[in-house]
Structure 1
Amino acid sequence: MSDRTDPERLLLVTGMSGAGKSTALDTLEDIGWEVVDNLPLTLLDRLLDTPPQAGSRDHRPLAIGIDSRTRGFDADALVKRLAKLRQRAMFDVSVLFLDCAGAELERRYDETRRPHPLALDRPASDGIAEERELLASLRQAADHLVDTTDLSRAGLQHEIRARFPQEHGREMVLSVISFGFSRGLPRNADLVFDLRFLRNPHWDRVLKPMTGLDQPVGDYIAEDPAYEPAIGQMEQLLLTLLPRYEAEGKAYVTVAFGCTGGRHRSVHVAERVAGRLRGAGFSPTVAHRDLASLPRDAVEEPKGSLKDNMTK
């Protein structure tokens, strides 16, 4: 195997305090960048002078957050340092500068009741003016200039993802779980589907001790006339929503299927839907929260209920 010779991607994230550097770095980390914030410039030199490890499997691009609060900060010296780095083949260097109108920065500091880092005992406007002067050369050298004056946090996240598309970032973590409503809703479920409208294997003497992992139980549930159209629409809904969640940068999505006891219908449907999602290119993990619980007549909907009458 040949050594890797491609230059490492290096993004310097800087700008006005309060303009959204933390949000930008968090977003870059979510899409797979390695992120370091406020590293002292003396340590930054050591980091950048270390060549990429040949044959390393971790080729994530590196984003480094630096601003006027960074120890040893000198914008002019940093611009010269970056110019030298660009002349070497080790790094593909770019600068992201986050700017914002002074009035909006004042409003943000007033809203959070935090002092400006360069004006701890003075009005925020003084610190903003001083910082803008300190960063002038770095702003001029920026490859990417983003004005966050009219951007919300979500708007800035969208802007970062658009400028730095995910190439080798982490995939969205997708979980599919089954549960019983009798034991409460699962925590952190993003989407919950209630399957109690389907015929209930609990009331069949042969099927009762089985679970939704057993073929006879699945066959019994699938005989319900509502089964195929309803579950098919649930699958189609998920195939529509999940790519949108991923595009929005959502790191974790949990889809929960519930029946009364959490042993039959929800287990079977969770397995079926997870299989459909795998076929569509997703990689869901499947968990059955209440599979090991004992069947209890007292918690199941009564046999002969309206639902049962509708499916007879």
Structure 2
Amino acid sequence: MNISNIFIITGQSGSGKSTALAAFEDAGYYCVDNLPVTLLPKFLEIPIEKDSHYKGLAFGMDLRERSFLMSYRSVFDELRQAGHRLEIIFLEADVATLTRRFSQTRRTHPLALGDKGVVDAINQERDELLALRNEDATRIIDSSSFNVHKLKKEISDLAADSCDGIRLKLAIVSFGFKYGIPEDADLMVDVRFLENPYFVPELKPHSGLSPAVRDFVLNGEGTRTFLTKYTDLLDFLIPMYQKEGKRYLTLAVGCTGGRHRSVAISTEIHNHLRGRFSDIRLLHRDIGQDE
């Protein structure tokens, strides 16, 4: 068994952790659910058979073990110092989705004790897991819009990629601030300081994919200087993220409506990076919206 492939499946109750763990098992991982986190180092000391066919390990850990939050960070740090590489997959969903799922399955939320209702339990769990989500998770998956099959596909792809070695997946996303910041953004830059083609009548109907809009944005005051400085920063930061074992990195570029400036700039950033990284995609989230 390749113990360098160790996944911790955690997150909110009802977000699909059991489905994710089953997907890892189907992908050839040895899976253990609800293992006390303090036992994890001892578990990893168990001798592995030489002819083991397992591709790695996956553990389900969450607030069902009430001491989890008090112990996980020291245990994970200990394992990293011992040379293990941990991937912490945090699953979540919005309150309405989680409430519906608990209603449909008639399961009891682990924090819905005494007179506490499901919604209060969901909110309490979300708050208690906030540090784990924001500071320790290497991948956050919002399953609100996922059915079982889509979530299994997402996890299966993740498990398959891990067997190919550490390969950073880069996503560059243009967006409009008026429609909200992308929740999975790791790095975000605001380009609303650039001159806006929206106020040029002949450019307003077109997106940042139009050559005329692109030229307007790129030839504006300060644009070239900004791109040089920002891409230099990315050239420095991204290898550092890779060195730390980060697998997914989302770069978000925002303007007011997500149709003009952010589209042109994110395309330029994509063009700069695609020669350096093989797994990179460009997404214009709000290009179809009206500004």
In structure 2, stretches of 5+ residues that fail to align are: 9-23, 34-39, 55-64, 87-161
The alignment yields a C-alpha RMSD, in angstroms, of 4.1
The ranges of structure 1 where at least 4 consecutive aligned residues each deviate by more than 4 angstroms after the TM superposition are 65-68, 90-93
* Superposition pairs of residues 1-312 of structure 1, within 5 angstroms: 10-11=1-2, 25-26=6-7, 35-37=29-31, 112=67, 153-154=76-77, 156-157=79-80, 159-161=83-85, 168-169=164-165, 171-295=167-291
Q: Which amino acid aligns with 2:31?
A: D
Letter in 2 for 1:215: P
Report the Cα distance in structure 1 between the residues aligned to 2:225 and 2:200, rounded to whole angstroms: 24
Per the alignment, residue 60 of structure 2 pairs with none
Residues 160-218 of structure 1, C-alpha deviations (whole Å, 9 max, x = no match):
249xxx88325222111011112221212111100011111111111110110011111
Which amino acid is 2:6 matched to? L
Q: Which sections of structure 1, spanning at least 5 residues, go unmatched?
A: 1-9, 14-22, 40-64, 69-74, 94-109, 115-149, 296-312
Identity %: 30
Work out whether residues 174 and 262 of structure 2, in 8 Å CA contact, stay in contact via their aligned partners in 1.
Answer: yes
Any conservation in 1 of the 2:41–2:79 contact (CA below 8 Å)?
Answer: no
| 1:196–1:258 CA contact under 8 A, matched in 2 | yes
Structure 2 vs 1, CA of residues 38 and 192 (structure 1 numbering), >3 Å: closer, same or farther? closer
Q: Deviations over 1:102-127 (max 9, x none)?
A: xxxxxxxx99289xxxxxxxxxxxxx
Q: For residues 286 and 66 of structure 2, what CA distance do their matches in structure 1 show?
A: 46
- TM-score (ref. length: structure 1): 0.48
Specify the structure having the higher radius of gyration (Cα): 1
Change (3 A) 1:233 1:152: farther
> 1:283 offset after TM fit, Å?
2.4
| 1:92 positional shift | 11
Q: TM-score, normalised by structure 2?
A: 0.51
Secondary structure of the structure 2 residue equivalent to 1:280: coil
